[in-house]
Structure formats: structure tokens, C-alpha cells
Amino acid sequence: MRIDMLITELDVGGAENCFTALAKSLVKKSHKVRVIVLGEEPRSERNRLHLELITSGVELHFLRCKSSIDFFRAKRGIMQLVRGDRPEVALSFLFHANLLTALCYSAAAIPFVVGVRVADPSVWRAWLSKWIYRKSTKIICVSQSVADHVVNEESAPVGKIVVVTNGIEISEEIDAKTEKDGLQVDEALERNCVKQPFLIYVGRYASQKQIELLFELPKKLTVAGLLQQIVMVGDGVLKDQVSQSAAQHPGRLIDLGRRDDVLSLISRAQMLVLPSCYEGMPNVILEAMASRKAVACMNVEGVMELLGERANEQIASDNASATWFALVERLAAAPQLCQELGAANFERCKIHFAIEDKMLAYERVLFEIIEGDAKTSTSASERL
């Protein structure tokens, strides 16, 4: 297959990790993959995925868009690439890439798939998404919750939807990664005076994640007689607020910033805390599951599908902050229960979320589209 893959940016994150793993998997199976990134090349401290794609032999193009004013320049860049080397199918991840893919590949009469990774509540995005879905050949949703959202809130055609959940490398790969990064992580924890057991948050510093609830956790835990520190790993628009809160809670709330050794950090924590108000299927929960950790999260899209039978013990069912605080306190006070939940999460991860199965599912969708497009073209030629 000749495949164009488009994504908004190539910074390190859940969607970007999945996108990179898929591109590498397709190239390994001798498909010709061209990756088109709307944004700029990531800075050296954030370019791990960039380097992985180059090392894997993926053809890589950055359109260097910085804002919406570059939209039409990006459109011209994509069209030039398509005219120069026409793919059989295109696949995009994230909203802005989906929008440009719909514009460019529909105009070139090339079938394309859009990947929907989050149940975004924005009204204006829902309005544009309706148009994108009408133009698309297929819509791959990261969870059934997201699929329900795009059907009910964005009028996506049910017949176009395919659900392919996130996947992760299991057991030996996770263990090797955490062992490799172990010394560096231990030094970072010691430098920041972090003692085990601690609770960990990993993700963007953004309003979607409701990180203001993390700022209240040190006081809540102290009142409950619990001494665990809260370690935050990430970056984003609310970075200053995180720094200010860490300064107000010295020794209890620690901001480690952006890290590439997330798995090793998670492996040393007691549990993952994630108070997001909406999601798609949080990849960080999958990383926690693969690291044999318990989770304390809100009842947002994808988490019930991830956690399965033990979900109710790890989810604030009504999405109320008070319920979430109570959940965190209950698990923080019960290390044995955390270990039990972590073991159950790991077993579920092995059975349902092996990355090889997910990569095969994506490949199968692309094959079916190309075969269907070829049959349609043959039928049209026969009628002529």
C-alpha cells in the first residue's frame, strides 16, 4: 500500500505515540508510508518520535504551520505532495489534520480515514466535524465512548465508524524500558526529594485535565492523615499555575516537567491520578495498567473500556471533585488494594490491549478501503 499519514504535530503524547507506532508497523510490513506533519519539527528535547520515524525509514514532511493563518499554505503543501506522488489512501490523526485531509484528499478523489481521539465538547469543532465525516471513507474512533459521541453529538454516519482502541507493548518491553531508564529516574526523584510511595499525574497541563484538583490534593491527603507526595509530569499552557502551586506546597507537590522516562516514573508510583473532565481513551491509563498500577480517575470517555471489571473501584462515577478526592484518599490509604488492582489491570492489558493487534486492525481497515476503491473503479470502467 502507498499511504499518506497526517497529524497535527509530532510532540510526545498519547495520540502521537500511537501514530508513530502505526507508521513504523506499516513500514515494517513493506508498505510505503509518507508522514505529513502540519506543525514544526519538535525541539531536540522533544524529538523522540521524529527520530524514531526517520530511523524506521518513513518519508517525513513538516509543513511548519504555527497558527491558523498558515492553514492555506498547509493546504497548498499537501496538494503539491499528492500531485507529486499520489497515495492509494490517507489516514489522519487529530482535528486540524482531519480537516486538511478532508479538504485535500477529497479534492484529489483519494479515499481517506480520519482518526478521532477525543470527545471534544466544542460546538464549532462539532459543526466542522460533520462536514469532515461526510467526506471521509471511514472514521476510526479510539473508543466506543468516542464513537457514541461522534454519532450523537456530531452526526457521524454509523456505517463509517470503526473502533480501534489504543494498544501498548506488554511485559518484557515495558520491563526493559523501565530498567533502562531506572537510574536516571531514581536520580531525578532523589534530586527533588521524592520518597516512595507517591502518587503520579502524567499529561498536559491544560484545563481539560482539571489539574487544579491536583493543587488541592496535598491538603486533602494531610487532613486524611496521608503523607504521599504528588508528582506531576508534563507541560502546557498552565505550566505557571503548576509551578506556583508546587511552590505553595513544598515537598508535597513536585513538578518534574516534561520527561521521556514516563514508564519508569509510573512504575515507582503507588498509583496514577487523572482528574480529566473529558478524554477519548487516555493512553496514560494504559501505561499505568501495563506498569501494574492502580488508577484514580473521573468517569470520562474510554476509561470503563480500559479498566473493565475493576473499573468501579478506580473511577469517580459521578465526576464530582468530592467523589474523586474520596477515591484518591481511599486508594492512597490501601497499598495492598492498589497492588491487587494493579495486577488486575495488567492482566486485562495483556488480554485486550496488545499493540500488535491494534496495528493489524488499522492495516485491515486500510486494505479494505483500497480493495473497495479498486472494485468501484473496475465496475465504473466496465459500465463505460
Count of Cβ atoms closer than 10 Å to residue 62 Cβ: 17
- For residue 196, name the pLDDT band (cuts at 50, 70, 90): very high
- The secondary structure of 260-320 as a DSSP string is S-HHHHHHHSSEEEE--S--SS-HHHHHHHHTT-EEEEES-TTHHHHHGGGGGGTEETT--
**Above 60 in pLDDT, residue 384?**
no
pLDDT > 90 fraction of the chain, expressed in percent and rounded: 82
β 315-316/294-298 pair status:
parallel
Does residue 15 contact residue 7 with C-beta atoms inside 8 Å?
yes
**Amino acid in the structure at residue 78:** I
Instruction: Give pLDDT tens digits for 243-295.
Output: 999 999 999 999 999 988 899 999 999 999 999 999 999 999 999 999 999 99
Retrieve residue 337's grid coordinates.
488494594
The reported pTM is 0.89
CA 324 centroid distance within chain: 22
Cβ-based neighbours of 344, under 8 Å, separated by 6 or more:
309, 310
Q: What ranges in 56-122 are assigned the alpha helix state H?
A: 71-84, 95-107
Q: pLDDT band at residue 169, thresholds of 50, 70 and 90?
A: confident
118-164 per-position pLDDT tens digit: 998 889 999 999 999 999 999 999 999 999 999 999 999 999 999 99
Residue 209: partners with Cβ closer than 8 Å, 6 or more residues away:
201, 203, 274, 275, 276, 277
Q: How confident is the model at residue 47 (pLDDT cuts 50, 70, 90)?
A: confident
